[in-house]
Chain A
Amino acid sequence: MRIVVAMSGGVDSSAAAALLAEQGHDVIGLSMQLYDASKEAGGQRSFGSCCSLDDLHDARRVAAAIHIPHYVMNFERQFTEHVVSNFVREYAAGRTPLPCAHCNSDLKFATLADRALTFGADAVATGHYARVERDEATGRSLLKRAVDPAKDQTYFLFSLTQDQLARARFPVGDWPKDAVREYARRRGLPVADKPDSQEICFIPDHDYASFVASHAPGAAREGDIVDQDGRVLGRHGGIHRFTVGQRKGLGLSSSSTGAPMYVLALRPAERAVVVGPKASLEQTRLTASGVNWIVEVPVGARRVAAQIRHRHPAAPATVRGTGEGGAEVLFDTPQLAITPGQAVVFYDGDVVVGGGWID
């Protein structure tokens, strides 16, 4: 089978490519050039400033080591349209975006998969920790959590359609991370000991606020910090600097507020940051939109475990479709810091039932 592997230059996608090649598939490596970090620094290029190019270099070395053809495709325009602009817009709207999920469904399994088709590929593989299985009873493709629960990335893959899942391959999803590194070492892949990437790839310095401010100058306007009753407690430098549940950076002393204050909500229309005590962060209900059902759309209510952020232990809940891609989720017990813009993903055991975007 001809399989295109999206190679990021990291150990996981490198091992994925090596595994598929070892299994005898006709593997083609594709790397996406998504942004040029050297352009971000005010246009002044300095040697060796572009981390993206280092990763492309690593991907090329791996492809050479396992003897597969490798191409770099420039998707800067599509990445900006689908991922970066959404990221900036969401922060400016007082929400906390999840760019990796958009990159998966709108770029890797969309633009890149379309290109893969043109090269006669039957499938697209990535280095994600997840599993895809075909449900013989319904004929649907099922997305399942990875074998290694600590590395599971299904939270970022919930928005894949049936078409996308049918052609997706996740070769490392059956393996614990340690085994993947060990395999990479055994195969002599030059990235076997490369550290995992942590940050959002297009903001290597972690400074999200400056990034948003430079791309959406309107978002960086000052406003009031208010409590739940509307009393002004202080000033802030722009709502894009805050996320629900955040405690640091408010500049409020607990002696004046009586207790540590947390961000409860962001109100872009009034440019207000609403704060309150930790107890006020707890909620039992959320609504979501843009819901994607991976199993058949449930009729009526369905019991699930719902996960509201990457590191959140999925909590028992009841989900009910509300029409037009909407859903309502009622948790059995209150959850801390339900954050608009993040995803809520529904699980039944290991199986991803579906997911949507928290309103």
Chain B
Amino acid sequence: MRVYFDYNATTPLAPEVVEAVVAATRDLFGNASSVHHFGQAAKAAMDESRSAVAALINADPSEIVFTSGGTEADNLAIRGAAEALEPTGRRHLVAGAIEHEAVLNTLKALARRGWRTTLVPVDQSGVISPDSVRRAITDDTALVSVMHANNEIGTIQPIAALAAIAHERGALMHTDAVQSAGKIPVDVRALGVDLLALSAHKFNGPKGAGVLWVRRGTRMQPLLTGGKHERNRRAGTENVAAIVGLGVAARLAVSKMGVEPARVASLRDRLEAAILQQVPGTTVNGARDARVPNTTNISFDRVEAESLLIALDLEGVAVSTGSACSSGTLEPSHVLRAMGLPAHRTQNSLRFSLGLFSTEEEVDRVAALLPGLVGKLRALTRKPGVQTVGRT
């Protein structure tokens, strides 16, 4: 039995999503822009998805722009708003220090083109304070971008308060909700933001489908220019089957929002408690109260996270050391670093992220495995089995 506890990297597809995607791939091959029957069928299926996603985040369907995923949605939000606001003289962008690379590297790219950028620090709990955002904003700030929930530690940011601060100074507010949408209630009106990004494959939908929600009336320039798709906001023939899958996943998330977050939270808490209790030298990274219900990030004292990850994989348990996008690099997590964790803790931390198909049995299996694996790794770290020879 393999255990998949890496839902923040991506999720398995819900069976009804698979069915819908397969059926759409086969039956809805028409180009949604075509006038004829085939085009109309594709267009209707997309509109159905648009409504489903709008319902997930309390938006109007006309405000939904389909993209290829979360990264494109973040790019469109930041670059699209920046380009639209450039003529107003605003040349400054603000983002959180623990944002996903999709945001951080987009800011870097714009910085190379003359934009000033400010990264807002986080405290040790992994939360951005409204005061620090207030200090970062200037009169020429065009956009503030802060993620709703962090991908590595799961902390939820006070987006509504931050949006109010941004708006006081006439700046737009974008939030990357890729790790919260589908997991917890997300309401664009309550959050008070102007732009919000989400991605289907983080909540049991297919890869290749994401959304940028754009508050009606927000000025935006498209990233991709071409045809008049998505009301001139995103050119290119739509990935209809993936968009259909996104819609089904969104409906599923809405239908389960009353019970699933609490169920997953109890599993996560069971795992976390077992690890803290049975494995000496373990600490949870980041705030434990304001978190998405599926995520825990744990430091294992005197253990190289990479080795523990591989040892777990060889036992059939899939977890990660941080974001999937940065694994393999072994660069210390920028999130844990920004939280001010000492260097060794940025390299001994594992992320366990659960989801729709996680079970108590799986939690207990992982909890039972860890003490032995960690103990073995620590024993080997103390006395290396191989001595090196040769000159220095």
Contacts and interface: CB of A to CB of B under 8 A. Distances in A.
Interface of A: 28, 33, 69, 71-74, 76, 101-102, 105-106, 109-110, 113-115, 117-120, 159-161, 163-164, 167, 289-290, 292, 357
A71 B388 contact: no
Contact of A33 (B328, B381, B387): B328
Given A72-B328, A357-B391, A114 B311 contact: no
A71 B310 contact: yes
B328 A110 contact: no
Interface string B381-392: 100111111110
B390 A106 contact: yes
Interface string B365-383: 0000000000011001100
Contacts of A292: 389-390
A21 to B, nearest CB: 15
Nearest to B328: A72
Contacts of B259: none
B311 A163 contact: no
Interface string B268-294: 000000000000000000000000000
A114 B330 CA distance: 18
A160 B385 CA distance: 14
A167 B381 CA distance: 18
B307 A106 contact: no
Contacts of B328: 33, 72, 74
Contact of A119 (B310, B381, B390, B391): B310
Contacts of A74: 306, 328-330
11 contacts: A74-B329, A76-B330, A110-B386, A113-B385, A114-B380, A114-B386, A115-B307, A118-B311, A118-B380, A160-B389, A163-B387
A159 B311 CA distance: 30
A246 B71 CA distance: 54
A73 B386 contact: no
A117 B379 CA distance: 11
Given A28-B314, A69-B313, A117 B388 contact: no
Given A69-B313, A69-B314, A74-B329, A118 B307 contact: yes
Instruction: Kindly state the interface size class of chain B when it binds its partner.
Output: 20 to 34
Interface string B211-242: 00000000000000000000000000000000
B198 to A, nearest CB: 29
Given A113-B385, A117-B385, A357-B391, 18 more contacts: A33-B328, A71-B310, A74-B329, A74-B330, A105-B388, A105-B390, A109-B386, A110-B386, A114-B385, A114-B386, A118-B311, A118-B380, A119-B310, A119-B311, A159-B390, A164-B386, A289-B391, A290-B389
Contacts of A113: 385-386
Contacts of B310: 71, 119
A355 B219 CA distance: 73
Contacts of B306: 73-74
Interface string B301-339: 000001100110110000000000000111000000000
B380 A102 contact: no
A339 to B, nearest CB: 16
Contacts of B388: 105-106, 110, 161
Max count, chain B CB within 10 A of own CB: residue among A28, A113, A119: A119
Nearest to B388: A110
A344 to B, nearest CB: 14
B298 to A, nearest CB: 18
Closest 7 A-B residue pairs measured CB to CB? A74-B330, A290-B391, A110-B388, A117-B385, A113-B386, A159-B390, A118-B307
Contact of B376 (A115, A118, A164, A167): A118
Nearest to B313: A69
Contacts of B389: 105, 159-161, 164, 290, 292
